[in-house]
């Protein structure tokens, strides 16, 4: 296992009032850490604190020097009538994005608003995976995904390069067991 990318110490987080914690964890390069727990226990709130969308009441969050993170939102890519195609989206996070997974092949020039919910979700994760950032923060990445998309995702996460680490929040135990070396249960 490589160097520490992210250290969270005694974090108590929530919105108007605390709803999760205290939580302490570390993510190292080459590591995929899963966070699970019952619905409403505050799993996603942990990631939202990192994105500035929830509040830290106590504790400490520290990225290692020079480490940058990329965050995939739980609700996937917001749509509506929008003239961005799949390649446009991938180029928003990377100048040289990863090749498309099997489930998205042939959709390169397809508009975002013409994709299915599962394809959009896979694209959102792929945008995060393509970003040249060391720490990957994924929130319920398999939401709306069909089995083929899920397989693509599992392959990509297990093949993550050694200099990158991932913090994966999911209620899907089977996914976490398939891709993570460690699983933490919070609020359980």
Between 87 and 174, whose beta carbon lies closer to other proteins? 87
185 contributes a contact to other proteins by CB under 8 A: no
**Which member of 10, 24, 51, 173 binds other proteins (CB under 8 A)?**
51
Please pick, from the candidates 46, 71, 122, 179, the single residue that binds other proteins as defined by CB under 8 A: 71
DSSP-assigned beta bridge partners for residue 137:
71, 167
Taking CB under 8 A as the criterion, the residue among 12, 84, 156, 183 binding other proteins is 84
CB 15 to other proteins: min, Å: 15
Residue selected from 11, 104, 131, 157 as contacting other proteins according to rule CB under 8 A = 131
Min. distance of Cβ 12 from other proteins in angstroms? Answer: 19
Q: What is the 3-state secondary structure (H, E, C) of the chain?
A: CCCEEEEEEEEEEECCCEEEEEEEEEEECCCEEEEECCCCCCHHHHHHHHCCCCEEEEEEEEECCCCCEEEECCCCCCCCCCCCEHHHHHHHHCCCCCCCCHHHCCCCCCEHHHCCHHHHHHHHHHHHHHCCCCEEEEECCCCCCCHHHHHHHHHHHHCCCCCCEEEEECCCHHHHHHHCCEEEECCC
Q: How far is the CB of 174 from other proteins (least distance, A)?
A: 26
| Contacts to other proteins from residues 93-122, by CB under 8 A | 93, 109, 111, 113-114
81 counts as binding other proteins under rule CB under 8 A: yes
Q: Which residues bind other proteins (CB under 8 A)?
A: 47, 50-53, 68-73, 77-79, 81-85, 87-89, 92-93, 109, 111, 113-114, 124, 127-128, 131, 137
């Amino acid at each position: 296992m490589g160097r520490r990318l992210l250290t969270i110490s005694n974090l108590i987080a929530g919105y108007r009032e605390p709803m999760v914690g205290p939580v302490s964890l570390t993510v190292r390069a080459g590591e995929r850490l899963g966070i699970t727990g019952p619905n409403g226990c505050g799993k996603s709130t942990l990631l939202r604190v990192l994105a500035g969308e929830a509040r830290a009441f106590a504790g400490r969050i520290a990225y290692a020097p020079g480490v940058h993170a990329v965050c995939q939102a739980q609700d996937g890519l917001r749509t509506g009538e929008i003239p961005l195609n799949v390649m446009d989206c991938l180029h928003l996070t990377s100048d040289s994005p990863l090749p498309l997974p099997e489930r998205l092949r042939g959709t390169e020039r397809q508009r975002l608003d013409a994709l299915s919910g599962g394809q959009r979700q896979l694209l959102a994760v792929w945008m995060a995976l393509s970003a040249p950032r060391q720490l990957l923060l994924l929130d319920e990445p398999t939401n709306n995904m069909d089995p083929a998309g899920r397989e693509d995702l599992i392959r990509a996460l297990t093949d993550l390069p050694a200099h990158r680490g991932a913090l994966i929040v999911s209620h899907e135990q089977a996914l976490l067991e398939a891709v993570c070396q460690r699983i933490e249960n919070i609020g359980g």
